[in-house]
Every structure is written in structure tokens, then in C-alpha cells.
Amino acid sequence: MSNTGDLSEEERLAAEWAALAEEGSGESSDVTSGGSTRVLNQDEIDSLLGFDQEGGGDGENSGIMALVNSALVNYERLPMLEIVFDRLVRMMSTSLRNFTSDNVEVSLDQISSVRFGDYLNSIPLPAMLSVFKAEEWDNYGLMVIDSALIYSIVDVLLGGRRGTAAMRIEGRPYTTIERNLVERMVHVVLSDLSAAFDPLSPVTFRFDRLETNPRFATIARPANAAVLVKLRIDMEDRGGRLELMIPYATLEPVRELLLQMFMGEKFGRDSIWETHLATELLVTDVDLKAVLDEMTFPLYDVLNWKVGTRILLNAAPDGAIELRCGDVAMFEGRMGRKGGNIAVRIEDDLYRDQNGR
């Protein structure tokens, strides 16, 4: 019989490692030569990385995932967008009913912020991608119509019977008829989108092209942030999804207006002071010069002028006289007399003629 003292060196080291493993199985610390090191369990690691399985359904990231996605701008910084798209939903419900002659219900599912590249890679195919341009903002946006909505629109416009699901033939490109019908619907939606922005800032959204390959619909850099609006369109037992993707660069010209909390909000403007300033400007005295004629002489002749030198002007008694305010020509008229004073009767408004107003 052998005792503990007769154990080999390998067996003694194995026994020590087993004892250390039993001690480190709980929340105890692992003793090393340099000191103690805290051992994290699986729940703490998931919480640190932001992969909390229990709270994963709330859509909020934490930990390292929150740091990775911190570059995105939250759409709540532009609260006026919610009002604009609520207005769009109401207008689309009416216009699509007139377009399809069917009972159409449009609902707003979600407004979120995404990276353009991530969204482009997540588009379920087949789908149609419509690129449109905001004329006044000089930039582009993207509208994505999924296959379910495409076949539903085609079925409704071509007289498909109610109560039957739209027939879908996968694995083939869209026909010219299908593209033309979807393009007509895109024009209706873009018209409503322009009208939805009108109270905020007049803008015209113009249809540019229709694509089926997401790579051909690239309108921004992959890392650029964009606003994604998901709409659900239901036509009784048919329907599908329509998504609007507008880059933040496109909305930049109206960013100050989109930051408003309610329509018509003013940023530090004082209407009382504006009214007072306008009233005072209307009663301000302005000096006007009546110019009879203008002549150009060489400097040599001007230096030789003496007291009594006469200059003959080309102005006739009934000739036109120009009235100027500083260097700006304001009016044109004729000279005469009234009550012993020299007067000018205004006959033409030169300032309005020059500025086209």
C-alpha cells in the first residue's frame, strides 16, 4: 500500500489542479502567483457584450453593442418626422383607394435609424427598388416594394377576384406590365409624400428609376445613416409592405424644421419686434437724387475747368429724369413745377422692372 508521500510528481500536480478547479467552479477567485483574478460567469459576459437573452426583445442594445451602434443618430431627434409620416399615412389611404378602386388600409409600423449598407443587404428579394430625387434638396431617397405588395397591386389593377390570394411565381424577373403598374403606384406615393412635407417645407419628389438589384440602387455610402419608415398596405385579404429609406444627408436642408416639437414652432423670433421694425421702415426718410443727365469727360479737361465754365447737358425740358437712391435707380419721371417748387412726376418704376417684380 502506498500513501500520499509515495505519489509521483505528476499525480501530485494533478491533485492540486483538481482542487483549484473545484474552488473556481463558484464565484471564488483563482489564486495565481501575481495575485487574484476575477472570473466572470456566462451571464456577466452576455451582459457585457449586450447579448442579454432575457431582455433581447425590447430592441435596446447595451454594453459593447451599444458602443458599436452609437454612431447612428436616433430618429427621435427629428420629432417632426412622425407628424409628416402620420400625415402621409392618411393621404395614402385616400389616394390608394382611388388608385385601386378597392378598400385600402395603410398603417405605419415603425420609424427607425439604420445604416444604408446594412439595410441594402437586408432587403428580402425579389423586390422592386424605386429611386426618387428630392428636387429642392438636391438628393435622393429609396422606396422598396416587397413581392407580396407587387403581386397584390397587379392582381387588383388587372381585375383579380376578391377573396383569392395573389398568385406568386417566384424565380422569374418582373414583366414590363408589372413594372409599369408598380411605377404608377410609386408616382401616387411620391405625390402624397410631397404633399405631406408641404406644410413644413415645399419639396417635389421626382421618380428617377426602378431597379430590382439592390446594388444598382446605391444612393449613399454604406456607413451613412438613414431614416427607415415601414408602411403596411392591406387590401382586404391582400397586401404587403412598402418601405421608405431617406438618408440623413437628404433631410439636412430641413433639419432645423424637423427639430421642431410641433408645426409652426419658431426659434427665438420675436413677432412684436418684427412688426415694430417693419412699421418704422415704412416711415423712414430716404434721400432721392434727380439725375438730369450724365456725361463723361477726360481728366485733362476737368483740370482745366475754371469759374464760369459752362457744361452743356443733353437734357431737354420734357426729357426723362432718373430718380436714384444712392447708386440704385428707383424711378423715372418728368420734371415740372408745382406751387413755386420744382417737382418730378413719376412715370415708371425702374427697380421693379430690373428685378422682375
Domain ranges of the chain: 28-71, 75-258, 285-355
| Cβ atoms within 10 Å, residue 80 | 20
Mean pLDDT for the chain? Answer: 78
Residues 6+ apart with CB under 8 A from 320: 332, 333, 334, 347
Give residue-wise pLDDT tens across range 310-343: 888 877 777 888 888 888 888 888 888 888 888 8
CATH architecture of the region 75-258: 3-Layer(aba) Sandwich (3.40)
Q: Do domains 75-258 and 285-355 have the same CATH topology?
A: no
User: Which is higher by pLDDT, 125 or 204?
Assistant: 204
Has residue 264 got a pLDDT over 60?
no
Cell representation of residue 309: 465754365
Give residue-wise pLDDT tens across range 72-122: 545 547 778 888 888 899 989 889 888 888 888 888 888 888 888 888 888
Give residue-wise pLDDT tens across range 148-174: 888 888 888 887 666 555 555 566 778
Query: Are the C-beta atoms of residues 208 and 140 closer than 8 Å to each other?
Result: yes
Q: How far apart, in whole angstroms, are the C-alpha atoms of residue 246 and residue 78? A: 13
Domain 285-355 CATH (choose: 3.40.50.2300, 3.40.50.1010, 2.40.160.100, 2.30.330.10): 2.30.330.10
User: Which is higher by pLDDT, 21 or 322?
Assistant: 322
